[in-house]
Amino acid sequence: MKFHFFVGNDNGNSEHDLIIDGKLVQQPNVNCTVDELPWSEEQSPESFIKNLQEQLVVTIDSPAARPGMYYVGKFALESGEILDNLQIGIDLKSDMDLPIINTLAQIAAMAVQKAYEEEKKIPDTIEVEADMATALPVTQHTDETSLKFEKRFTTGSHNVTVHLGMQRVGVKIVFPFAKVVPEATPVIFALQKDSEGNWREGDIFQSFIEAYDIEKKFNGSYFKDKRILHVDIGDGSTEYPITEGNKFLRQFVYGTHHGAGYAIEEALDEFNRLIHLTDSPRQFFSDVLKNPKHKFHARAIKTLKRPLESQVKQIVQNVKRQLTKTRNEIDLICVYGGGSILMRSMLQPLLDELCKEREMKLLYIPADYAVQMNALGLDAFVRGKIYEALKNKAVQPV
C-alpha cells in the first residue's frame, strides 16, 4: 500500500502535536529505548489499531537516528522506563534523535490506521511519501540549523516497524521535501484560514469579539493585513516574532529561554517532596497540571505559583522590549502555546493593561486551541502555495 501525507509537525519540549493527513495527534514528547516487546500473551493485532498512539511501540532503522526498539509518547511516559526527553534550554532540537524518532513513529502509526480503515485488514508493508513542515525555536533557527534538520528527514528512506502485539507492519517513509521554519511564524495561516481553506470563524475568537465589541460577522480575514506581535509560550522557550499580513519580519526575530517548563523545573523538587517521590519527569508534572481531577493537582498548582509569577514577569518585560523596538507600531498581540494556559490568570491582566496603554488589541487564544496553533499553522503552510513553490524550486534540475 502507498500513501501520500501532508504533515504539520510541532515538536514541542513537552508535547508533540502533529497534523498528519488532516488528523491531529497529541502525545507527550518522550520515548525510551527497550530490549523487548512488552506483550507476552497473544493479543489480536486489530485490538491495537484504534488507540495505537497510546500504546505505540516501534523499531526504527533510519540514517537519521540510532537504530533500536522504542516506546513512544504516552506509552513511554507510563512505562516506568528511563525516559529520553528534550532538556529545556540545553538541547538543540536539530541535533537530537528524539524529534526524528517520535515523528517517524507517529507517521508510521497513522499509516497503519489508515491502511486498516481502507482495507479492513492489516498489511505487511506500507510505503509513505510525506511532505512536511516543522519548526525550530527562534533562538535555534538559523539557515544552517534548519537545513541540517531538513536533511535529517529528506536524506534516504526511514524504515519503521510498528508492533501490533506480536504482529509487525513494516512502514517505509520518504520525505521528498521538508521545510523548517521559525516557531510561531506559521500561526498567521491558522488565524486566517481553517483546514478547508475558508476564513476561520467560531469560538476561537469569541472572547476577542466580546472584549472589543466587534460586529458579529467576524472571521480570519481580519488578520490578513494586520501587524501582529506573537507571544508563543512553550515549555522551554517563548518566541516573540512579528508578522505583517503573511510576511514574517526577520528584523524583529526574538526568542528567549522562558516558559512553563522552567517554572515546572523549579517547582519539581518541592512537588516530588510533597507527593513522596524521589524523582518524576517534567512531563508527569505537566499531565497532573492538565488534569484538575488528579489527586496531586492542588499540590502541583501550589508549588508552581511562585516560579510561574517569575516567568510571567520576564515575558511581560520581553513583550515591552519588542514593542519598543517596533515603536509600538503593532495592531495586535496574540498569545498562545501550552505555557499560555497555565499563565493566563497572571499574564492576561498585565497584557490587557499594556495594550490599552499603547493602543493595540489583545487576542489571548483559548485553552482548547492554544497548544494546537503551531501544528494548525504548519498544516496550513504545508498545504499552501508558498510550500509548493519552495518545493518546486528545490527539486528543479540545475
Average pLDDT over every residue of 47-53: 94
Amino acid at 130: A
pLDDT at 396: 65
Q: Which of 62-71, 144-153, 216-225, 354-363 is predicted least confidently?
A: 216-225
Instruction: Let me know the angle formed at the C-alpha of 289 by 30 and 362, rounded to the nearest 5 degrees.
Output: 100
Average pLDDT over every residue of 255-279: 88
Bridge pairing between strands 125-136 and 2-11: parallel
pLDDT at 89: 64
Going from N- to C-terminal start, the domains of the chain cover 2-181, 187-375
Who's near 212: CB < 8 A, 6+ residues apart? 361
Binned at pLDDT 50, 70 and 90, residue 90 comes out as: low
Average pLDDT over every residue of 212-234: 91
Give the predicted TM-score (pTM) of the model: 0.89
Residues of the chain with pLDDT > 90, as a percent, come to 73
Bridge pairing between strands 125-136 and 167-182: parallel
Task: Name which residue leads in pLDDT, 344 or 184.
Answer: 344
Condensed to tens digits (0 to 9), the pLDDT of residues 253-264 reads 888 888 888 898
| CATH fold group of domain 2-181 | Nucleotidyltransferase; domain 5 (3.30.420)
Does domain 187-375 bear CATH number 3.40.50.150? Answer: no
Whole-angstrom distance, CA of residue 299 vs CA of residue 182: 35
Do 2-181 and 187-375 share a fold? Answer: yes
Binned at pLDDT 50, 70 and 90, residue 214 comes out as: confident
Whole-angstrom distance, CA of residue 43 vs CA of residue 135: 38
